[in-house]
């Protein structure tokens, strides 16, 4: 018993049971990121068919993130109360259907609405996964499973690149394709439908997965008193300077990462790389660099935490930040595509560190009973703020630099979004250490 009349402390499930869940959820995350990422590789044919500008594409790429973050708040509340695997399965079926609908859209409004549908479905996955990981692994063993799950980002992006590259090459040689029930389809429509359909099948598998028993939080009432959405907001407000400075580091990462949806047309307009070539090279690089990088960072985080470094995850986030920011801007000024892409490979490492370690660092300062909701609020913040990345690129490209010089618009994003987190780093680290100690005492 933790105290007289309190609930007994529940044992964590076996490592095999915990990792089985993580593997299945990671496969789901790979599917989700393929559906999310592939649109950026199809920008040019979509622009040509609908007569769109870079400004319009910037808003289209942001449609997903707007609804993804907002719906995630409700999903966080639901995840802290409902059966998480069922919630994820239903979300997976929805984003699959929305991806197919994107490929069937007849105008910009339908494109925008379908991408919002993808965001609604995918908003279920990460809050549920991190809640499940928190109930499956003790704090000093969470870095690896979170790093493994986060490795789905580069894997999904890499597979999306390779798949779209292959489809572009195939359809360029054979023209439009047809599918039963869908009829004749242009290459970009065919690509979206093909990547969207398999998720429906996998959602059935996820629906029947078992999840771990929820673990009660040992945090004392002076730290957190309830598990409602207002309790989560009050807790964040009480520690606002910390959460703001912390989240802004990750917001900078998402702004850069989302703005890179314009990289395929940037390489084509600036250095003459075809979308097929960029997609293939980018896919191989992401698959080689991304997963290994994230697993290494998760392992380092666990080792530093086990050695008693209270801000181990935050330190790794800062390392990723200082790699990520300069290597996002410099490639746009390189003389050749090969040199630009080489620097972007280093950028992938920095983005991967921040992405993989962000939630690990968040869980350290978040009591268990509001974990799903705080993770959902976290995703709301980083998604909405990150959506400004492609909007800034689209606006600067169309209104300032000119669409042929889109690379300068891409280069501006990391410089703009790095200022606030950089200035707040000393305060953020101090408050992080203070709250870590306080939570440690309340659970000790």
Task: Write down the domain spans for the chain.
Answer: 15-209+225-439
- The larger pLDDT score, comparing residue 73 to residue 336, is at 336
User: How much is the average pLDDT of 325-344?
Assistant: 94
Which pTM does this prediction carry? 0.71
List the beta bridge partners of residue 292.
Answer: none
Q: Is the pLDDT of residue 101 over 60?
A: yes
- The larger pLDDT score, comparing residue 147 to residue 203, is at 203
Categorize the per-residue pLDDT at 3 as very low, low, confident or very high, splitting at 50, 70 and 90: very low
Cα-Cα-Cα-Cα torsion 142, 123, 411, 344, nearest 10 degrees, comes to: 50
* DSSP result, 148-217: HHHTHHHHHHHHHHHHHHHHHHHHHHH--EEETTTEEE-HHHHHHHHHHTHHHHHHHHHHT---PPPPPP
**347-370 tens-digit pLDDT:** 999 998 898 888 888 888 887 777
| Length of the chain as a residue count | 444
Q: Which CATH number fits domain 15-209+225-439: 3.65.10.10, 3.40.190.10, 1.20.1250.20, 3.40.50.300?
A: 1.20.1250.20
Q: Where are the beta strands (DSSP E) in 233-292?
A: none
**145-167 tens-digit pLDDT:** 877 887 777 787 787 777 767 76
């Amino acid at each position: 018993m933790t105290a007289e009349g309190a609930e007994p402390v529940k044992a964590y499930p076996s490592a095999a049971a915990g990792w089985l869940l993580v593997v299945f959820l990671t496969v789901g995350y790979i599917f989700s990121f393929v559906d999310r990422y592939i649109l950026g590789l199809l920008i040019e044919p979509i622009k040509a068919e609908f007569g769109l500008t870079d400004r319009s594409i910037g808003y289209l790429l942001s449609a997903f993130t707007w609804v993804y973050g907002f719906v995630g708040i409700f999903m966080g509340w639901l995840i802290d109360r409902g059966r998480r695997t069922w919630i994820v399965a239903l979300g997976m079926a929805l984003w699959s259907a929305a991806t197919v609908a994107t490929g069937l859209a007849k105008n910009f409004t339908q494109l925008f609405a379908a991408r919002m549908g993808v965001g609604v479905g995918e908003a279920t996955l990460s809050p549920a996964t991190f809640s499940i990981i928190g109930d499956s692994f003790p704090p000093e063993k969470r870095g690896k499973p979170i790093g493994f799950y986060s490795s789905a980002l580069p894997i999904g992006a890499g597979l999306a690149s390779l798949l779209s590259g292959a489809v572009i090459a195939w359809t360029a040689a054979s023209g439009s394709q047809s599918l039963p029930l869908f009829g004749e389809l242009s290459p970009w429509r065919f690509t979206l439908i093909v990547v969207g359909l398999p998720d429906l099948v996998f959602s059935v598998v996820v629906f029947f997965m078992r999840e771990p028993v929820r673990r009660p939080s040992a945090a004392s009432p002076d730290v957190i008193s309830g598990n409602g959405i207002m309790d989560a907001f009050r807790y964040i407000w009480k520690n606002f300077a910390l959460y703001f400075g912390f989240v802004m580091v990750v917001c900078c990462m998402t702004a850069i990462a989302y703005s890179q949806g314009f990289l395929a047309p940037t390489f084509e307009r600036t250095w003459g790389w075809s979308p097929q070539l960029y997609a293939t090279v980018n896919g191989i690089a992401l698959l080689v660099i991304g997963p290994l990088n994230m697993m290494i960072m998760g392992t380092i985080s666990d080792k530093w935490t086990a050695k008693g470094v209270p801000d181990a995850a935050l330190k790794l986030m800062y390392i990723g930040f200082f790699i990520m920011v300069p290597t996002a801007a410099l490639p746009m000024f390189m003389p050749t595509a090969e040199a630009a892409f080489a620097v972007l490979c280093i950028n992938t490492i920095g983005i991967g560190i921040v992405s993989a370690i962000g939630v690990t660092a968040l869980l350290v300062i978040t009591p268990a009973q509001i974990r799903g909701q705080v993770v959902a609020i976290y995703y709301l913040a980083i998604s909405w703020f990150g959506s400004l990345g492609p909007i800034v690129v689209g606006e600067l490209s169309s209104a300032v630099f000119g669409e042929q010089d889109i690379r300068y618009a891409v280069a501006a994003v990391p410089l703009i979004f790095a200022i606030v987190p950089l200035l707040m780093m000393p305060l953020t680290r101090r408050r992080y250490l203070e709250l870590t100690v306080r939570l440690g005492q309340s659970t000790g």
